[in-house]
């Protein structure tokens, strides 16, 4: 995993990207206002299934049209709308509709993209399923970054080990997942290809809104495909030379589970920074470390070679794992850097 700080050219690209986003949002708003000049249905509730550039795929929650999909444009000033958002919208005569309001969110999973713009991934999520596999090789620090994002946005995280059919006898991945299980995170071991333990995954997901996240190629789309055989999802191979994913899924998409509950497929990530997190709040994202914060001899303790550090004492006493403490220190000391995964 490479690290880097942003160069001037990258900062320029961030600005360009933000400008492009504003232009798209403006075009969508323009289209929305022209639709609003025409005849529109009364206001109704909808659910955002996916977001493509200027348009939104909205599913009607109204009795007469329940479950039907509509292409919609968003009114100005609504801010970014995202998969999982519940909205108020009005249908146009030609089927295109206008989203006019967004309902309060129970949660919002965001992460900054490589241009440092904070990008919402999905809203109203109960569970983040962090998918890992033996190929592509997992990065423990990336798992911790996801756990921090989940803990700090109040969303229940779970780990899903996929591709158990590929596990070599000497693989270290089972020990890695057992480590997180011992911390108290729900862990499920499955194979989308062979179907092993897919029933357990199905049971775990019932009645919740979950999003699958993780590196490209770990099999997020394959898992959803295995759960929903009647849907057709794009599944990509791994590049042969480096056994990395090929970034097949490009936009978050919400699927309904027949037993109840929703499942969002999300694009595999290329990088993961946590710049939007304050140094002070980072430790709250480490559930077994946070209780030591504030118990050190010095109020401004850096939890690293400081005398009287409660966290160091806990590591020495075997109460917390040095790996997670090191992961915390690593993330804290590189908060303004990006982890690049490709």
Ligand X SMILES: Nc1nc2c(ncn2[C@@H]2O[C@H](COP(=O)(O)OP(=O)(O)OP(=O)(O)O)[C@@H](O)[C@H]2O)c(=O)[nH]1
Interacting residue ranges for ligand X, rule: CB under 6 A: 162-163, 165-166, 191-193, 216-222, 235-238, 245-249, 267-268
Nearer to ligand X, 78 or 235 (CB): 235
Binding at 208: pick from ligand X, Zn ion, Mg ion, none (beta carbon under 5-8 Å per type): none
Helices within the chain (DSSP H only)? 8-37, 140-152, 173-182, 198-205, 220-227, 279-282, 310-316, 322-333
Local structure of residue 267 (DSSP, 8 states): P
Which does residue 296 bind out of Zn ion, ligand X, Mg ion, none, counting CB within 5 to 8 angstroms by kind? Zn ion
User: Which of Zn ion, Mg ion, ligand X, none sits in contact with 314, Cβ below 5 to 8 A by type?
Assistant: none
Measure the CA dihedral 330/294/152/104, to 10°: -150
By beta-carbon proximity to Zn ion, the closer residue of 161 and 311 is 311
Among positions 122, 130, 148, 296, the unique one binding Zn ion when judged by CB under 5 A: 296
CA proximity to 334, closest of 148, 151, 180, 155: 148
Give kind and range of the element (H or E) at residue 100.
Answer: strand 97-102
* Cβ distance to Zn ion smaller for residue 160 or 309: 309
Selection from Mg ion, Zn ion, ligand X, none that 319 binds (CB < 5 to 8 A by kind) is none
Which DSSP helix (H) or strand (E) runs through 272?
A: strand 271-272
Q: Do residues 100 and 43 touch, judged by C-beta distance below 8 A?
A: yes
299-328 binders of Zn ion (CB under 5 A) = 301, 303, 309, 311
Cβ at position 107, least distance to Mg ion in Å:
22
Query: Binding of Zn ion at residue 264 (CB under 5 A)?
Result: no
In the complex, least distance from residue 249 CB atom to Mg ion, rounded to whole angstroms: 3
The least distance separating Zn ion from the CB of residue 279, rounded to whole angstroms, comes to: 13
* Contact flag: residue 249 with Mg ion (CB under 5 A): yes
Both tokens assigned to 204: 């775990």
Q: Is residue 225 near Mg ion by the rule CB under 5 A?
A: no
Closest by CA position to 31, among listed 97, 103, 102, 101:
97
Q: Which stretch binds Mg ion (CB under 5 A): 36-44, 144-152, 217-225, 319-327?
A: 217-225
Least distance from Mg ion to the Cβ atom of residue 141, Å = 22
SS3 281: helix
Rounded to whole angstroms, the Cα distance separating 180 from 186 reads: 8
Q: What is the DSSP string of 127-153?
A: EEEEEE-SSSPP-HHHHHHHHHHHHHT
Map residue 70 onto helix, strand or coil: strand
**What does the radius of gyration of the chain's CA atoms come to, in whole angstroms?**
22
One residue of 28, 191, 215, 221 binding Mg ion per CB under 5 A: 221
Q: Which is nearer to ligand X, 130 or 150 (CB)?
A: 130
Q: CB under 5 to 8 A by kind: which of Mg ion, Zn ion, ligand X, none does 104 bind?
A: none
Q: Coil, strand or helix: which one is 26? A: helix
Nearer to Zn ion, 126 or 306 (CB): 306
Q: Which of these segments, 5-13, 92-100, 239-247, 288-296, binds Zn ion (CB under 5 A)?
A: 288-296
Burial 35-59 (b: 16+ CB within 10 A, else e): beeeebbeebbbbbbbbeebbbbbb
In sequence order, the β-bridge partners of residue 188 are: 160
Q: Smallest distance from the beta carbon of 201 to Mg ion, in angstroms? A: 16
Q: Smallest gap, in angstroms, from Cβ of residue 66 to ligand X?
A: 29
Q: Report cis status (omega within 30 of 0) of the bond before 136.
A: yes
Q: Which is nearer to Zn ion, 189 or 303 (CB)?
A: 303
CB of 235 to ligand X, least distance (A): 4
Residue numbers of the site for Mg ion (CB under 5 A)? Answer: 220-221, 248-249
Residue numbers of the site for Zn ion (CB under 5 A)? Answer: 296, 301, 303, 309, 311
């Amino acid at each position: 995993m490479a690290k880097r700080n942003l160069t001037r050219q990258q900062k320029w690209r961030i600005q360009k990207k933000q400008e492009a986003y504003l232009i798209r949002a403006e075009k969508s708003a323009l289209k929305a206002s022209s639709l609003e000049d025409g005849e529109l249905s009364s206001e109704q509730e909808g659910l955002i299934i996916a977001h493509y550039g200027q348009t939104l795929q909205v599913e009607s929650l109204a009795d007469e049209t329940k479950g039907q999909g509509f292409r919609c444009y968003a009114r100005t000033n609504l801010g970014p709308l995202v998969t999982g958002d519940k909205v108020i919208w009005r249908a146009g005569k030609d089927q295109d509709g206008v989203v006019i309001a967004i309902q309060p969110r129970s949660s919002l999973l965001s992460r900054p993209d490589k241009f440092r713009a904070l990008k919402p991934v999905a809203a109203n999520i109960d569970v983040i399923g962090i998918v890992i596999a033996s190929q592509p090789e997992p990065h423990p620090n990336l798992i911790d970054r996801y756990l921090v994002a989940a803990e700090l946005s109040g969303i229940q995280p779970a780990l899903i080990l996929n591709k158990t059919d590929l596990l070599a006898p000497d693989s270290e991945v089972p020990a890695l997942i057992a480590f997180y299980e011992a911390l108290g995170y729900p862990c499920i071991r499955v194979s989308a290809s062979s179907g092993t333990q897919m029933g357990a995954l199905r049971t775990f997901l019932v009645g919740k809104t979950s999003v699958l996240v993780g590196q490209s190629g770990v099999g997020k789309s394959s898992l959803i495909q295995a759960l929903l055989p009647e849907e057709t999802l794009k599944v990509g191979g791994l590049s042969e030379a480096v056994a990395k994913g090929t970034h097949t899924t490009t936009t978050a998409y919400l699927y309904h589970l027949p037993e109840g509950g929703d499942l969002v497929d999300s694009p595999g990530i290329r990088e993961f920074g946590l710049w939007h997190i304050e140094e002070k709040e980072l430790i709250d994202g480490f559930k077994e470390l946070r209780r030591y914060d504030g118990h050190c001899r010095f109020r401004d303790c850096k939890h690293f070679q400081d005398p009287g550090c409660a966290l160091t004492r806990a590591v020495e006493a075997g109460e917390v794992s040095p790996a997670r403490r090191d992961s915390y220190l690593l993330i804290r000391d590189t908060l303004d850097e990006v982890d690049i995964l490709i």
